[in-house]
Amino acid sequence: MNFGLVIIGDEILSGKREDKHFAKSVELLSARGLQLAYADYVGDAPDRITATLARAFASGDTVFSFGGIGATPDDHTRQCAARALGCEMALHPEAEALIIERMQDVARETGTPYEPQRSDNVHRLNMGVFPVGASIIPNPYNKIAGFSATGSGGGRVHFVPGFPIMAWPMVEWVLDTHYAHLFVRDEWKEQSIIVFGAMESTLTPLMETLERLYAVKVFSLPSVDHPQYGRHIELGVKGSPDVVAQAFDALLGGLRALDVPLGPELVRS
């Protein structure tokens, strides 16, 4: 299964805020033996958000969408999700109950009466209006739920807020609740070697041969000004430990046949 991200917000694309979701998502997936396949960044433009989500719903992938699920005028994600799915929106009963519970909590904490018909409290219920058929994602920070929805193409998108303090525990809950059967803990290995004085074009046939013969991914990371190794290429393989060991031996044999200078070996798991 492929895992993807959709990160929404003008503030990210304008540089007003630095995106932290990409790095954290990689960390959360890696801790469970999973990998991120792609990430899309999109501003607060409803048509573009809708098109991006439509691709996600049609992809057959699992996608986490960050941001834009509030109830202010610049929050479009909930509405765009419904448009991408071609469905109506409705107040989700579980989300409604949690929002009411949150408003009651705030009233108690501030020593003020809870007034359900007050205009701001009525407006807050909009945060529980999701595409029909969506399921909720609990928010341990303030009880304002996110939601999950599945498209006709099999893509399942999980929508969480843009605030890291809320979003990251919600992503963990989704992974641990719905995707634990995919976890591959301690069964992933990455082994590479520093190669000097070679061009990627020279190494490409060897890389293609390794991917054809072994169930691994081969990677090439060139650097021109590394503080320790200077100009070099980190060439390696990643996958199941047993297969990686075989593929890496073949990689070393191929590099020796090319007679290129080699540096230290690197292992990550």
- In angstroms, rounded to a whole number, what is the distance separating the alpha carbons of residues 177 and 224? 43
Q: What is the per-residue pLDDT for 225?
A: 87
Q: Give the type of residue at 134.
A: A
Residue 230: closest CA among 183, 192, 268, 195: 195
* Structure-token match 């990409």, residue found: 22
* Structure-token match 């834009």, residue found: 68
Regarding pTM above 0.75, the answer is yes
Instruction: Report pLDDT digits (tens) over 219-236.
Output: 999 998 888 899 999 999
What is the CATH superfamily name and number for domain 3-182?
MoaB/Mog-like domain (3.40.980.10)
Q: What's the CATH code, domain 189-268?
A: 3.30.70.600
Residues of the chain falling short of pLDDT 70: 185-187, 269
Q: What is the per-residue pLDDT for 37?
A: 97
Instruction: Report pLDDT digits (tens) over 87-124.
Output: 999 999 999 999 999 999 999 999 999 999 999 999 99
Q: What is the per-residue pLDDT for 185?
A: 63
81-119 per-residue burial string, b: 16 or more CB within 10 A, e: under 16: bbbbbeeebeebeebeebbbebbeeeeeeeeeeeeeeee
Q: What is the per-residue pLDDT for 242?
A: 87
Residues of the chain with CATH 3.40.980.10: 3-182
Contact 234, 268 (CB under 8 A): no
Residues of the chain with CATH 3.30.70.600: 189-268
Contact 136, 147 (CB under 8 A): yes
Q: What is the per-residue pLDDT for 17?
A: 92
Q: What is the per-residue pLDDT for 139?
A: 96
Structure tokens belonging to residue 20: 């932290």
- In angstroms, rounded to a whole number, what is the distance separating the alpha carbons of residues 168 and 161? 9
Structure tokens belonging to residue 35: 């990998």
Structure tokens belonging to residue 129: 């209006």
